[in-house]
Amino acid sequence: MTKMPEKIIPRGLQLLHDPVLNKGSAFTAVERDALDLHGLLPPHVQTQAEQVERVLGNLARKPTDLERYISLIALEGRNQTLFYRILVDYIEQMMPIIYTPTVGEACQQYGKIFRRPGGLFISAEDRGRVAEVLRNWPDRDVRVIVVTDGERILGLGDQGSNGMGIPIGKLMLYTACAGVHPSQCLPVTIDVGTNNTALLVDPLYFGLHERRLRGPEYDALIDEFVEAATKLFPRVLIQFEDFGNENAFRLLERYQERICTFNDDIQGTAAVALAGLYSALRITGETLRDQRVLLFGAGEAGIGIANLLVLALTEAGLPQNEARARCWFVDSKGLVVRSRNDLSSYKLVFAQDHEPLADTVAIIESVRPSVLIGVSGKPGVFSRAVLEAAARQVARPIVFALSNPTSLVECTAEEAYRWTQGRAIFASGSPFDAVSLFGHRFVPGQGNNAYIFPGVGLGVIACASRLVTDEMFLAAAQTLAQQVSQAELDEGRLYPRLTHIRKVSHAVATAVIRVAFGRGLARMSVPNDLDEYVRLLMYEPEYRSYI
């Protein structure tokens, strides 16, 4: 188990106000006397289990998930260990609250629900002193930074500095799902302004009230941040999160061969989608090279999925040009084809030799896909006509509606099953309840990036890898698919139950470490027992004794 960094133990109210050390009503009678706590707490000493029961009861009485989110964030600010005990033990119930879909609303309401800082803000006004700002963070053994500039928060668009909810939520999942110690996690928002007019005129908006910084000045600020972060925290992994398309691809290309970094929207989403596809093929009995994939949305997620799919197909022996020919895209202007003159370089790679088409049903009837993947952020794009057309092409259409939050999903689970007469193999980015139709109970899988990025991060941290490679994400996808049991597949699940996510993250981490060792990227020697080495690194939220 990862040990908590040694801290000087404060006394009295100072100890109760330290969220890392505080145990609240669980301090024993002996500890209360020794640490000047007697009389500062109610006399009954509670077990951690009793505290959990009390918190769960309080959450159940909250009227909305946003109120539950606020309550949990407040708990994390009072008693970090108890907060993570609840997340680990009740991950299925808590993940939709601390992350998607509730975190989207939390970002939109950030200025109204703000209680205390949970991360580090670096603004355009900090140019020339970013290292000084980073030194204000109290922990020095930072191993993972999740950073955003708030331009593309989930499917909600530009939220500026309100996007801080995303790196905070992601790093909570690093700890809950993969056991990365909270003290090793640093959420960062780089505030370069916002083009969201509503925020610019909102007096309660916390961020810079100016239009977004672009061009060389923006690049110089990001360069300064990366240089300062990697110098101050020499073994840090930097995860880029929710940057706009233009910057996301460019920054990944700029840094991925220089520092230990990845973009979860591009690479993490790709791995979880590919894992779901591997699982779906266990149901159909087909191979990956048999598939024709039609992706709705040609941004970070869509291009990332296609790139990883091409890597998987080439590793399976298919020439690269044939692998790319398996991937078709629909963007806001229709089918992505070579005759169009409006394509960015990353779309042009996947442009097909085909006549231009804009009507979605016509595209499906012409392309005849076996797999539909929605990462468009356009609610309802998988309409009844679209899904019925898809079901006419193959016996078991694979339908992934991956856009977040739930309000932006391409179709619901019930729509996918109903409009394909129960033949769809379905997964979504947001959670859906089980559906009973046609005399069968369908349990939809949630293609949550939390199955991938925490385990990848744990593996990278555990072996101090110099870089993060696409091969690591391919290994993560293959490993995740292997974690799905036959019983889960029989229910329609394409991913393991969230209750198994720490086991999944352990397996993903070991797969990533093996890739790092195999490619000479690890900055440590191979442990004798890799599985046990990783297990012992994983933080467990248990109270320590102070006596």
Q: Do the Cβ atoms of 91 and 498 come closer than 8 Å?
A: yes
| 275/377 same-domain check | yes
Inside any domain, residue 36: no
| Cβ within 8 Å of residue 437, ≥6 positions away | 414, 417, 418, 422
Final residue of a domain: which of 402, 426, 445? 445
The pLDDT profile of the chain, 547 residues, written as one tens digit per residue, is 445 456 689 999 999 999 999 999 999 999 999 999 999 999 999 999 999 999 999 999 999 999 999 999 999 999 999 999 999 999 999 999 999 889 999 999 998 898 888 899 999 999 999 999 999 999 999 999 999 999 999 888 999 999 999 999 999 999 999 999 999 999 999 999 999 999 999 999 999 999 999 999 999 999 999 999 999 999 999 999 999 988 999 999 999 999 999 999 999 999 999 999 999 999 999 999 999 999 999 999 999 999 999 999 999 999 999 999 999 999 999 999 999 999 988 899 999 999 999 999 999 999 999 999 999 989 999 999 999 999 999 999 999 999 988 889 999 999 999 999 999 999 999 889 999 999 999 999 899 999 999 999 999 999 999 999 999 999 999 999 999 999 999 999 999 999 999 999 999 999 999 999 999 999 998 899 999 999 999 999 999 999 8
Nearest Cα to 509, choosing from 465, 446, 541, 444? Answer: 465
Strands in 170-297 per DSSP E: 185-191, 237-240, 261-263, 293-296
Strands in 182-331 per DSSP E: 185-191, 237-240, 261-263, 293-296, 327-331
Alpha carbon separation from 453 to 478, 486, 509 (Å, rounded): 14, 24, 10
Rounded Cα distance between 382 and 373, Å, is 10
Q: Which pLDDT belongs to residue 7? A: 67
Counting DSSP H helices and E strands in the chain, the numbers are 25, 14
| 273/420 same-domain check | yes
* Residue span of the structural domain in which 504 resides: 451-537
Q: Which pLDDT belongs to residue 6? A: 60
Final residue of a domain: which of 206, 237, 259? 259
Inside any domain, residue 41: no
| 379/498 same-domain check | no
| 249/277 same-domain check | no
| 62/139 same-domain check | yes
| 146/279 same-domain check | no
In the chain, how many domains are there?
3
Rounded Cα distance between 291 and 87, Å, is 38
Inside any domain, residue 475: yes
Q: Which pLDDT belongs to residue 90? A: 98
What is the bridge-based pairing of β-strands 327-331 and 293-296? parallel
| 229/318 same-domain check | no
Inside any domain, residue 397: yes
Q: Is 170 a catalytic residue?
A: yes
Assign 120 to helix, strand or coil: strand
| 82/149 same-domain check | yes
Q: Is 99 a catalytic residue?
A: yes
Inside any domain, residue 498: yes
39-78, pLDDT tens digit by residue? 999 999 999 999 999 999 999 999 999 999 999 999 999 9
Of the candidates 69, 170, 205, 346, the residue annotated as catalytic is: 170
Inside any domain, residue 129: yes
- CATH code for position 474: 3.40.50.10380
Rounded Cα distance between 78 and 99, Å, is 20
Rounded Cα distance between 438 and 416, Å, is 13
Inside any domain, residue 1: no
C-beta atoms surrounding 437 within 10 Å: 12
Assign 531 to helix, strand or coil: helix
- CATH code for position 419: 3.40.50.720
Q: Which pLDDT belongs to residue 420? A: 98
Inside any domain, residue 310: yes
Q: Which pLDDT belongs to residue 1? A: 44
Longest CA–CA separation in the chain, Å: 80
| 175/226 same-domain check | yes
Of the candidates 99, 174, 539, 543, the residue annotated as catalytic is: 99
Nearest Cα to 440, choosing from 415, 420, 417? Answer: 417
Final residue of a domain: which of 410, 445, 480? 445
| 465/530 same-domain check | yes
| 418/528 same-domain check | no
| 493/420 same-domain check | no
